[in-house]
Structures are given as C-alpha cells and as structure tokens.
Amino acid sequence: MGTSDLTLDAAPAAADVRLPAPPTQLIRPALFLDLDGVLAELADTPDAVVPEPRRTKVLRALAPRLNGRVAIISGRTIAEIDRIADGSMAAASGIHGLERRRPDGSLLRAEPDAGVRAAVEAFEDFARTRPGVLVEDKTIAAGLHFRGAPEAAADAAVLTRELADETGLTMQPGNMVIELKTPGASKGTALKAFMAEAPFAGATPVMLGDDLTDEHGFRAAAELGGFGVLVGPPRETAATFGLPDVASVLAWLEAVEETK
C-alpha cells in the first residue's frame, strides 16, 4: 500500500487561533525556510515564481549574520531553489527532503523509485484532457498542479490515492498540488539531517512554513528544542508562532539576531 501524508497527528494550535509573532532575538538559532508561500508569493504556475531583489538581499545578509546556520527546505528541486533564491543559499533541501545540499556544496540525493515514471505518465494522461492542470516531473517525485483548474482537485486526489496504492509511492498534498514521491524523506528528516552536522549542530532549530508539508518540519524543530513558525492564515498546526505573509517573513528575517 502507498503511504499518505494527508492525515497528520493532531496539532496543538486550533484552526482559528492567530499565533503570536516569533521573537527577533534568539539564542544561537538555525533557520530553516520553506520557499513558496514563505519567501516567495504563490503564483499560478511554478515557473511564474522568479528571483526578487529584496529576497535575495535578505538571504545573502542572513547567512553570514548567523554563521551559516540557514537553509531552504522546499518541495521544489534544489535547481529551482537556486533559480528563485538567485543562488543566495548554500544549504538547501529539495523535493521534501529527497535531495539535500550541505553548506560545503556536497549533494545527497535519493535513488528514484520505479513507480515515479508510472505516476508521471498517469498524471500526463490526466492533464491532457483538463486545461490548466500541470505536471511536474522531478525524477524522484511527480507533481500534479491544479491551481489553474481548481475544479479538478477532487479527481486529482482520487487518481493520486489510487496511484499511491498501486506504486507504493508517498502521497504528499500541498497548496493546489498533490505529489507522489519516492518514500523515506520529509522536510522533518531534512531538518534533522542538517541539525546533525556543522554549522547547525547544537543550535536551536526554527522552521518557517505555510503548508501541510511543513508540519513535519515544525515537529522536528520542536523535538530538537526549537519551534515552528506558521506563515499565512491560522489553521490547526504544530507551529508555536505565526507570521501573516511573505512581507512579514522578510521583515522578520531582516530583524532577527543572535543573542548570548
């Protein structure tokens, strides 16, 4: 049977509770940042998200200020992270933890599951008759985007569940997208892997995310003595703090500093 991340464990914060803003003064923080919806505004298509001068400036200033303890953890590929972040981030994890680049540039990447190719082909058949639906082939994962055709959401979910059962791939829902990915990784495993290595080891992990996929990162940060920051409207979450939007994230990143 395929595994699904659609249902997560109960989270402490209620759906209608606005979380307080995170403090800007932190003791030896290590920041882990989602990309879409956190550092970049959501767009109609993945390619429509582009580099932005303020974002690039903030990220380039942040890493030296925290002695390199900053990483982007995204569902996008590392190549896409580099494109959107304008090459400003040395440490990065892509495809929900399936690929990870250490600060020294060394790259770790999972081997693709054989079922991914079957998922891509099934997604392409699905999209062929539904204008606005897009397929993303990440080699070790397949994404079905329906932001341009929201009426396809229910059918997309049914198809993806069936494929997860047939292939054993992990089903990963997102914001107007559902992915099937090679099993064995999440944003939480990526965060923990970074925290086991220099320069992150021994620091306080802080995960910023907006989506259901980020809940794994929030929980991992809490397990290691840190916390999560939910970006966007209130919802049930494991995060402790919240920020309303991308602009507030960038302002917080400009203000955050390490204290003794």
Catalytic residues: 34
Q: Which of 76, 72, 52, 33 is nearest to 175 (CA)?
A: 76
- Cβ density class 110-149: b for 16+ within 10 Å, e for less: beebebbebbbebbeebbeebeebbbbebbbbbbbbbbeb
How many other CB atoms are found less than 10 A from the CB of residue 153? Answer: 16
Query: What does DSSP assign to residue 191?
Result: H
Query: In the numeric block, which tokens belong to residue 125?
Result: 């058949």
Peptide bond into 199 cis (omega under 30): yes
Instruction: Report the amino acid identity of residue 35.
Output: L
Q: Helix, strand or coil for residue 173?
A: strand
Q: Are 236 and 201 in contact (CB under 8 A)?
A: no
CA distances 59 to 75, 84, 87, 90, 146, Å, are: 19, 12, 10, 10, 30
- Which residues, in sequence order, are CB contacts of 146 under 8 Å at separation 6+? 130, 132, 133, 134, 152, 153, 156, 176, 177
Query: In the numeric block, which tokens belong to residue 43?
Result: 């767009």
How far is it, in rounded angstroms, from Cα 218 to Cα 183? 20
